[in-house]
Amino acid sequence: MDRWSGVLRIQLHPDTSTFYRVAASLGLSSSRKNLAVPSGNAIFFSGDRVERTENPVIERLSDPQKIAEILVSKFGGSINAYVVEASIFNGPFAVYKDFIPSVNEHGEPKSYDATGFPASTSLGLLLSKFLAEAKNVILGKQKEPYQAEQSSFLCKPKTALLGFSKGGTVLNQLITEFGYSEVQSTEFSTQANKIVSIVGLASKEDDCIIPTSKEDLFNSIAEIHYVDVGLNCEGAYLTDKDVIDRISEHLTQRASGIRFFFHGTPRQWCDERRIWIRKEKDALVRLLKKAAHKNMGKLHLRERLYFPGKLPDLQMHFEIIDIMDVS
């Protein structure tokens, strides 16, 4: 399958001066002028910036376009991959203010609150606007109408969410919102309120390529990957039992389940100066294991430590992106 790859700057709201940098690798139809309907979407949230390390491994794995290519190689050529960077950086610190309103100036969350569903709403709008811009780039100045190619895949692609380092805070917020969302009795909601994009209501073709509403997003989530998550304060992992219990209950109403993956290195999980990272991870794993016994086998988890026995360093923190096992 031919692919379009690129990095676009997306303004989420017209009254703001900030932009999200989003990299993507999207499958193209046989005509190479339209987007193909993917089997799934892998959405990766980046963390803080690291610059001028003079380490070629770190530099390569700090490139969002390279990360998008890695995601395609891991999840398969029939998926679309998106890599989202925060719209605000306070020095090196990523601040996902639109997604997590409680974050401080360093991007550290005070709490995870589902009120208003900020993360899921922002993600749907961001993807819708990105797709509109990408179509303009792919079509160029042609006047012919855009139409997504028919596909053998289901019209509602599955979603894999990945949070790397501080990007894990976005996962925590999305999981919290999922827990407090309305229970859907079918696999996909047919009454979803579609997000209005810059070109009007999201088209039917868009619905087949990306989740354009929070309802579609929650119903499409198949995998959640914590990728060497960590913070300089508590809150790296979600430890709210009520949220996990609610998600477990939601899964009993769905035809498909969710897999949680925990990918870690000694830099985060074995840091004696930040012992809360390992404690929070272990607490979340325990909550998920208990929930897995209650929801008819629809919740699965896998935990893996990479580079065991090695001294912690910054390179392994980034290298996990390249070597993590998502199977």
pLDDT tens digits, 154-192: 568 999 999 999 999 999 999 999 999 986 554 444 433
Q: Are 70 and 62 in contact (CB under 8 A)?
A: no
Could you give the 3-state DSSP secondary structure of residue 149?
strand
Using alpha carbons, select from 77, 82, 103, 106 the residue that is nearest to residue 20: 82
Percentage of residues of the chain with pLDDT beyond 90: 78
pTM of the model: 0.91
Domains of the chain: 3-323 (3.40.50)
Q: Are 117 and 214 in contact (CB under 8 A)?
A: yes
Pairing of strands 158-164, 40-45: parallel
Alpha-carbon span 165 to 95, nearest angstrom: 13
- pLDDT bracket for residue 147 (50, 70, 90): low
pLDDT higher than threshold 70 for residue 194: no
Q: Are 10 and 129 in contact (CB under 8 A)?
A: yes
According to the model, what pLDDT value does residue 203 have? 52
pLDDT higher than threshold 60 for residue 196: no
As a whole number, the mean pLDDT across the chain is 89
In order of 102, 114, 231, 242, the CA distances from 111 in angstroms are 6, 10, 13, 14
According to the model, what pLDDT value does residue 191 have? 39
Tokens of 171: 């996962």
Q: Are 246 and 179 in contact (CB under 8 A)?
A: yes
H or E segment to which residue 219 belongs: helix 214-220
Across the chain, which distance is largest between two alpha carbons, in Å?
Answer: 60
According to the model, what pLDDT value does residue 255 have? 85
